[in-house]
Structure 1
Amino acid sequence: MKKNLLLTLALCLLAQWSVAQAPKWVEKAKRAVFSVVTYDESDKILNTGNGFFVTEDGIALSDYSLFKGAQRAVVINSEGTQMPVEVIMGANDMYDVVKFRVAISGKKVPALVVAPVAPTVGASIYLLPYSTQKDRSYTTGQVKEESKVEGQYHYYTLDMQLKDKMVSCPVMTAEGQVFGLAQKSSGKDTATICYAVGADYAMAQKISPLSFNDHTLLSIGIKKALPETEEQALVYLYMASSQLAPEKYTELLNEFISQYPNSADGYLRRANNQIFQSKEASSMDKVAADMDKALEVAQKKDDAYFNRAKLIYGYQLDKPEKTYKDWTYDRALDEVRKAIAIEALPVYVQLEGDIQFAKKDYAAALASYEKVNDSNIASPATFFSAAKTKELMEAAPEEVLALMDSCMARFVQPYSEEAAPYLLERAQMRLNAGQGRGAMLDYDEYYKAVRGNVNDVFYYYREQAAVQAKQFQRALDDLAKAIELNPKELTYFSELAVVNIRVGRNEEAIKVLKDALEIDSKYAEAYRLIGVAQLQLKQNKEACASFAKAKELGDPNVDALIEKHCK
């Protein structure tokens, strides 16, 4: 009994000696260590673990495993106070680390200093467990091995026993600086060996412009921080704009504006996002306010005026039922001219032309487009704009086609899909100008550019070019293909009959038209064309009967034929 009493006394004295020997910094440092509780989408506890603050404004480190699948999380500090995790700032699943920021309501938190230099092999180290008690308990050990992560960061093997509840607790140098996060032991010798990922590596985790699609970050449902620079944050916004719902994207824009209040881009993007969500007066007031703020903070006022003009122009193109205040084409034109007055960039002049075109002031629009086509941003699109404007001004076909030729000259042959829409436009313009062969060649180039991915309408239009070029067999082949793709379209049958009549294949024309009547027995034009074919076959009596049937069915074009051939 006495022996046991002496042993107990010795152990107590040993414990007191251990505390007495604790470095002076331990008690203060332990206040930076906290417990983490994460919750799933049903708001049930998902995981619990540890972490610690590395800055007084609430940036902290822990293990990624705790946060995987979490929709929210809280930390509980050494005083038992709960604080919500505000944003995730970076994560890596391979090394099981996560960096995040805790909402601290303006109050500074105790934080550890990250060691600027890695401890050497054999150095004494200290692990600080989480505790709500004012104690100086710790676990000691030594650095057994040190290796590199990504060439510049550190990973450690430690001579130290680790309990499960100590994972992600800070591992400290003798000077009281944190150099690692404790990780679960692996391998056979789990009683004396554990591992730590370098705090420098954990601190290096960040959100980049491409992080929006990062699988590791996507597996955490908690809001993500923006990248650290304005330029990167703008790229991140661009990536998110096409993938987030408007409401969620608005939240991200609000955060950007909060972080970068003097960036005109934030207000411009929020205005553009808001205007497509609602066009009610109250919503439009917010849009206008953001545009005003963008102009106020913009370093380049011309850019702000240009963006305001573009927004108003786009708003008017959507044809609102009721125009918001003075948001008209005239207002848009006034705004872009303010931009031009500061610096006459070609892109500003292009918008000026687009607004004038929308106003149907084609002469003014053409003048603007011609300036753009003499600039360094001349492109297929700018020459096409000029060509369409001239076409609407009823200019000579050769003038219109000259601009379209300039448009196509900016593409490299063989043409790609990018050139395809312009080939179609030039083909139609050539057709209208009576240049059937040129039109047919453009349709052929279009076919190759889209690798044969065309529909029945394409074959119908190419047939018209072939007829104009007197390439009748091509016309017949294209119409047959159009009917194959759309066997219910009666127009194709009548067109095929017309071409057959034109080349003297009257019996074939009648057969085609009877096929059309199988689809619609009241198709008046079929009877009229049958009559025309019958006239060619010297079947006047039958022709007049066909004309009479066409008239009965309401064909407005048959009267002249009846007058000429059936009296």
Structure 2
Amino acid sequence: MMKKLILPFALFLFMQNGMAQTPKWVEKAKRAVFSVVTYDKEDKMLNTGNGFFVSEDGLALSDYTLFKGAKRAVIVTSDGKEMPVNTILGANDMYDVVKFRVGITEKKVVALVVAATAPVGGADAWMLPYSTQKSIACVPGKVKDVSKVGGEYHYYTLGMPMKDKMVSCPVVNAEGQVFGIAQKSSGADTVSTCYAAGADFAMAQKINALSLGDVALRSIGIKKGLPDTEEQALVYLFMASSQMTGDEYLKLLEDFITHYPNSTEGYLRRANYFVTTQDESTFDKAVADWNQALKVAKKKDDVYYNIAKLMYAYQLSKPEKTYKDWTYDTALKNIHDAKVLDPLPVYIQLEGDILFAKQDYAGALACYEQVNASNLASPATYFNAAKTKEVLKADPKEILVLMDSCIARCPQPITADFAPYLLERAQANTNADQPRNAMLDYDAYFTAVNGNVNDLFYYYREQAALKARQYQRALDDIAKAIEMNPTDLTYQAEQAVINLRIGRYEEAVNVLNGVIKTEPKYAEAYRLLGLCQIQMKKTDEACASFAKAQELGDPNVAELIKKYCK
């Protein structure tokens, strides 16, 4: 009878010893582990796997592979509660980790504490699998090796078995603190050896200002979180504005406002979004954002400036019907309110722009001159002043002085970004009767843009060369313009003018005959042909050409007929 009791009693002792070796914290810690289900863009199930909470407010870790290509994801806790994955907060495809936040449906969840220090080789370790059962079974083992990742983080080789269903389960130390995330092994020995990426490395993953270009993050369709600091978040917003769809960008703005409710930037950028949609149904929302920005602003002048700038841009878009009081006058009122609080040059610059748009050119010039006397003076501000004087029909030499100041403030040597100012000064030099200087500007422009010019460039440079009496350059440039655009008869007529100027009458006649053959009603070509014929002592033919030009409506031929024809 005693012999029959030995086996059950031994089994009872074994079970008691096994239970004694299971740490007390396991039962609670396993509640931090959950199942993850991801779905593709068609809302079909994509992958299933594991993850675990590392904060009571829903911060969690899992493997990147599980989320790759996912449009949405949910987690299922050990007690069967389903919660959505709200935001991705960082990812690394090389080490297969992802950090995210779950929209928890209760005040707080059970979470593991991330170990502050890495365990050493030989330390005890436990892997906690996901389970909906009350069993507190876990997988014990040892840390076999610890290596470094990214200089200060860790990667572990573990002496314990692991099944595929345990990928991304937490690996914890003797105190119940998580130090690793179980990874799928590509090695042959999965019975006694497995691997884990450091929880410290996974926690270090974050969204930063450059994350929009991160391939790993872009392959996850779930909404991304914001960078940790307001400064980085603002840069992220700026970059996202040109890379996201309108709806995505609006959601990002709303996230920013939620995280930074006392920052005016969120309200101003959202107002800008509402205005630029050109949908009047959102304009009231823009006004609400302006009002909220004024309410929280420490520098209200900046808010007034941004309101003025948006209204100015709105009016520049030439709306068919102006929305409420969104006029240039209202924009001026806001910029004046900003100037009362702090008369910054940038505010005066915008005031000048608004006045220019209102065709108050004298007022605009006065503003631009104030800006040019300040530390905000730049190539653009001098250019604005020059163009305003041009509209006011000022002396060309005054305009040229301003363009000289514009060029003087450009980085030297002038790059392609600033090269258009050279074209403007070339024209100013031409208008001020300084064609040789105009040619120098055209040459500098050619260098700045690495020779990437069109036929118009060669035409304008030819005009300057002709006025400067550099006839060969003029001929070369007009020939280049014709080569690039052989159908523009203006260029061919200009080529005839140069030949006429230097006494090459036959060449000019040949060109003009070609023009007339292409376009028999080209009045100017007949007038120029008549001038060539006068120089060649062919007065009768010349008068016939002049008569044809007059017939076709040339306004400049009457004096020639009076002079040469009886």
TM-score w.r.t. length of structure 2: 0.95
Segment drifting more, 407-416 vs 437-446: 407-416
Residues 182-220 of structure 1, C-alpha deviations (whole Å, 9 max, x = no match): 123343433211122221111111111111110111111
Provide the residue aligned with 1:379 in structure 2: 378
1:444 alignment counterpart: 443
- Shift in Å at residue 545 of structure 1? 2.0
Superposition pairs for residues 391-402 of structure 1, below 5 Å?
Answer: 391-402=390-401
Structure 1 residue 20 displacement after superposition: 4.9
Contact 1:91–1:205 (Cα < 8 Å) also in 2? yes
Rate the CA distance shift 1:261–1:99 in 2: closer, same or farther, 3 A: same
Query: Residues 413 and 139 from structure 1, CA distance in 2 versus in 1: closer, same or farther, beyond 3 angstroms?
Result: closer
2:47 is the alignment partner of 1:47 = yes
After superposition, residues 463-478 of structure 1 pair within 5 angstroms as: 463-478=462-477
Q: What are the residue-to-residue correspondences of 1:417-428 with 2, within 5 Å?
A: 417-428=416-427
Give the alignment of 1:144-293 within 5 angstroms.
144-280=144-280, 282-293=281-292
**Alignment TM-score, normalising by the size of structure 1:** 0.95
Counterpart in 1 of 2:38? 38
One-letter amino acid of the counterpart of residue 503, structure 1: I
Q: Does 1:532 align with 2:531?
A: yes
For 1:516, the equivalent position in structure 2 comes to: 515
**C-alpha separation in 2, matches of 1:181 and 1:248:** 31
Offset, 1:480: 1.4
* 1:28-83 per-position Cα deviation (integer Å, ceiling 9, x unaligned): 11111111111222322222111111111111111111111111111111111211
- Report the equivalent of 2:58: 58
Aligned in 2, Cα 1:3/1:305: closer, same or farther, shift over 3 Å?
farther
Relative distance call for 1:424 and 1:5 in structure 2 (3 A) is: farther
Pair 1:415-2:414 in alignment: yes
Q: Are the counterparts in 2 of residues 488 and 519 from structure 1 also a CA contact under 8 Å?
A: no
Q: Distance in 1 between matches of 2:3 and 2:349?
A: 98
1:473, distance to aligned residue in structure 2 (A): 2.2
- Whether the aligned pair in 2 keeps the contact of 1:38 and 1:47 (CA below 8 Å) is yes
Which stretch of the first structure deviates more once superposed, 163-172 or 20-29?
20-29
Partner of 1:74: 74
Task: Out of 455-464 and 389-398, give the one that drifted further.
Answer: 389-398
Aligned-pair CA distance for 1:435: 1.6
The offset of 1:243, in angstroms, is: 1.0
Instruction: Give me the whole-angstrom Cα distance separating, in 2, the residues matched to 1:168 and 1:6.
Output: 42
Q: CA deviation at 1:290?
A: 1.4
Residues in 1 aligned to 2:8 and 2:162: alpha-carbon distance in whole angstroms? 25
Read off the aligned partner of 1:510 and give its amino acid letter. V
The verdict on how the C-alpha distance between 1:86 and 1:12 changes in structure 2, with shifts beyond 3 A counting, is farther
Structure 2 CA distance for aligned equivalents of residues 5 and 189 of structure 1: 39
Deviation at 1:427, TM superposition (A): 1.0
Instruction: For residue 458 of structure 2, give the secondary structure of its aligned residue in structure 1.
Output: helix
Residue deviations 1:518-538 (CA, integer Å, cap 9, x gap): 322222221222112111111
Counterpart amino acid of residue 343 in structure 1: D
State the Cα distance separating 1:130 from its structure 2 match. 0.8
**Offset, 1:417:** 1.5
CA contact (8 A) 1:83 1:104 kept: yes
Q: 1:12 to 1:164 in 2, by over 3 A?
A: farther
What letter matches 1:120 in structure 2? V
**Shift in Å, 1:411:** 2.8
Matching residue of 1:482: 481
For 1:192 and 1:236, locate their aligned partners in 2 and report how far apart those are by CA, in whole Å.
45
Q: How do 1:71-150 and structure 2 match up within 5 A?
A: 71-150=71-150
1:491 aligns with 2:485: no
**Corresponding residue SS for 2:36:** strand
1:391 is displaced (CA, Å) by 2.0
Task: Answer yes or no: is the 8 Å Cα contact 2:416–2:448 preserved in 1.
Answer: yes
Asked whether the 8 Å contact 1:170–1:178 carries over to 2, the reply is yes
Structure 1 position 21, deviation (Å): 4.2
Instruction: Show the counterpart of 2:334.
Output: 335
Give, as a single letter, the amino acid of the residue that structure 2 aligns with 1:200. D
CA contact (8 A) 2:83 2:105 kept: no
The percentage of counterpart residues that share the same residue type is 66
Q: Does structure 2 retain, via aligned residues, the 8 Å contact 1:118–1:154? A: yes
CA contact (8 A) 1:309 1:335 kept: yes
Distance in 2, matches of 1:312 and 1:5, equals 92
Partner Cα separation in structure 1 for residue 392 and residue 321 of structure 2: 30
Q: Distance in 2 between matches of 1:9 and 1:98?
A: 47
In the alignment, the residues of structure 2 paired with residue 451 and residue 375 of structure 1 have an alpha-carbon distance, to the nearest angstrom, of 34
**1:482 partner SS:** helix
- 1:492 deviates by 1.2
Task: Tell whether the 8 Å contact from 2:58 to 2:104 is kept in structure 1 after alignment.
Answer: yes
DSSP 3-state at the match of 1:224: coil
Q: What is the aligned partner in structure 1 of residue 561 from structure 2?
A: 562
CA contact (8 A) 1:29 1:110 kept: yes
Aligned to 2:293: 294
Shift of residue 462 of structure 1? 1.3
What is the aligned residue count? 565
- 1:538 is paired with a residue whose SS is coil
Question: How much does 1:233 deviate?
Answer: 0.8
Instruction: Write the distance in 2 (CA, Å) between the matches of 1:174 and 1:20.
Output: 14
The question of whether the paired residues in 1 share the 8 Å contact of 2:30 and 2:128 is answered with: yes
1:419-463 CA distances to partner (integer Å, 9 max, x unpaired)?
311111111111112222221221121112112111111111112
Alignment of 1:306-345 (within 5 A): 306-345=305-344
Corresponding residue number in structure 2 for 1:547: 546
Residue identity opposite 2:247 in structure 1:
E
**CA shift in 2, pair 1:367/1:549, >3 Å:** closer
Aligned to 1:389: 388
Once the two structures are TM-superposed, the CA of residue 553 in structure 1 deviates from its matched residue by 3.1
**Change beyond 3 A, Cα 1:283–1:206:** same
Other-structure match for 1:24: 24
Alpha-carbon distance in 2 for matches of 1:318, 1:106: 49
CA 1:367–1:556: 2 relative to 1, 3 Å:
closer
Q: How many Å apart are 1:10 and its aligned residue?
A: 4.8
> 2: distance between equivalents of 1:104 and 1:195?
30
Change (3 A) 1:59 1:380: same
Give the letter aligned to residue 436 of structure 1: P
Q: Kindly indicate whether residue 358 of structure 2 is the aligned counterpart of residue 359 of structure 1.
A: yes
2:475–2:495 CA contact under 8 A, matched in 1: yes
Superposed CA RMSD: 2.0
How far residue 415 of structure 1 moved from its aligned partner, in angstroms, is 2.5
The 1:106/1:329 distance shift into structure 2, 3 A limit, reads farther
The CA deviation at 1:15 is 3.7
Partner of 1:311, secondary structure, is helix
Aligned residue type for 2:529:
I
Report the alpha carbon displacement of residue 395 of structure 1 after superposing the two structures with TM.
2.0
**Cα separation, 2, equivalents of 1:222 and 1:15:** 46
AA aligned to 1:526 is A
